[in-house]
Each structure stands twice: as C-alpha cells, then as structure tokens.
C-alpha cells in the first residue's frame, strides 16, 4: 500500500517533470494509478455484494476520485504508446491520435468518479450502487476504444 501511495505521489509531480521522465517510468506510474483505482473499485464492489461498510466505501470512492483527477494525462508522454512499465503497455496508438475523444472520455470518467465520491460520502448504498455503475461504464468506454486486449 505504501509503495502504491508513493508512486501516486510521484505521479502528481510528473506534470512539471514530464519532459524529463523516461517513457518506461511514465508507463509504470500510470499502470500503478490504474491498478490502485481498480483495487478500490473492487473494494466498493465487494461491499455492494456483501456486507456494506459505508466508511470503507467512502474511503475507496474518495481514492478513485482523487486519483482520477490527479493529472494522469501528463503520463501519456510521446513514446509511451509502446513499451514496458511494470508490464507491456496496452494503450492503442489511436489514443494519441484522437485527443478530443480522449478528453471527452476522461472528463466523463472524472465526473463519474466525483459523483461516486459524493454518493459514498452520503452513506446511501442505493446512490453508491447507481454511481458505481456509471463509473464502471465510463472506465469501460475508454477501455473499449483505447485499450488493447
């Protein structure tokens, strides 16, 4: 957990130093951030399907929202369309060619993550369930268009 948080902290500094960052480091940082969000989405899903702990859900939703809006776009440097971070990148070359569409999908994900954070803070399980579905749909929209299987 500490390693993931350290990577995320470093990623937040990446926007100023992105021109000096090695492509493989940028890939590692973004893979770590997406993994961290997936882990937190999994915790929310487990709570929705099992015993609901509103405090754990609120923490996980907040982690997703903060990570989503941390400036991850800075980690898509030239040369990061291929290569290896922790593993081979799965981003499609089209990601770098369709920046208007990428921006639209990123804004939709950020908005959905913010709504999930808000719903989780309320403690209302039904609201969390609805917001969780929308957040998952926004993840899938980008994956379907810009991630290799």
Of 88, 21, 95, 103, nearest to 11 by C-alpha is: 21
Per-residue pLDDT, 5: 47
Supply the CATH number for residue 54's domain: 1.20.120.10
Tokens linked to 114: 């913010």
d(CA 26, CA 40): 21
Secondary structure class of 36 (helix, strand, coil): helix
Torsion from C-alpha of 39, 138, 128, 113, nearest 10 degrees: 70
Q: Are 135 and 113 within 8 A, CB to CB? A: yes
- Please count the other Cβ atoms lying within 10 Å of the Cβ belonging to residue 2: 6
Domain membership of residue 45 as a residue range: 2-146
Number of domains in the chain: 1
Tokens linked to 2: 């500490």
Low-confidence ranges of the chain (pLDDT < 50): 5-7, 10, 13-16
Per-residue pLDDT, 20: 86
- Of the CA atoms within 13 Å of residue 8, those in its CB half-sphere come to 18
Q: Are 95 and 106 within 8 A, CB to CB? A: no
Per-residue pLDDT, 7: 47
| 93-124 tens-digit pLDDT | 999 999 999 999 999 999 999 999 999 999 99
């Amino acid at each position: 957990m500490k390693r993931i948080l350290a990577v995320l902290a470093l990623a937040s500094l990446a926007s100023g130093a992105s021109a000096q960052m090695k492509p493989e480091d940028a890939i590692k940082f973004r893979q770590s951030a997406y993994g961290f969000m997936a882990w937190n989405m999994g915790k929310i899903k487990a709570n929705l399907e099992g015993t609901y702990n509103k405090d754990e859900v609120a923490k996980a939703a907040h982690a997703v929202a903060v990570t989503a809006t941390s400036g991850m776009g800075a980690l898509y440097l030239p040369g990061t369309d291929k290569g290896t971070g922790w593993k081979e990148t799965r981003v499609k070359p089209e990601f770098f060619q369709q920046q208007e569409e990428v921006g639209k999908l990123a804004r939709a994900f950020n908005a959905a993550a913010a709504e999930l954070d808000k719903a989780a803070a309320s403690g209302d399980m039904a609201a969390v369930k609805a917001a969780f579905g929308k957040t998952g749909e926004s993840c899938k929209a980008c994956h379907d268009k810009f991630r290799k299987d």
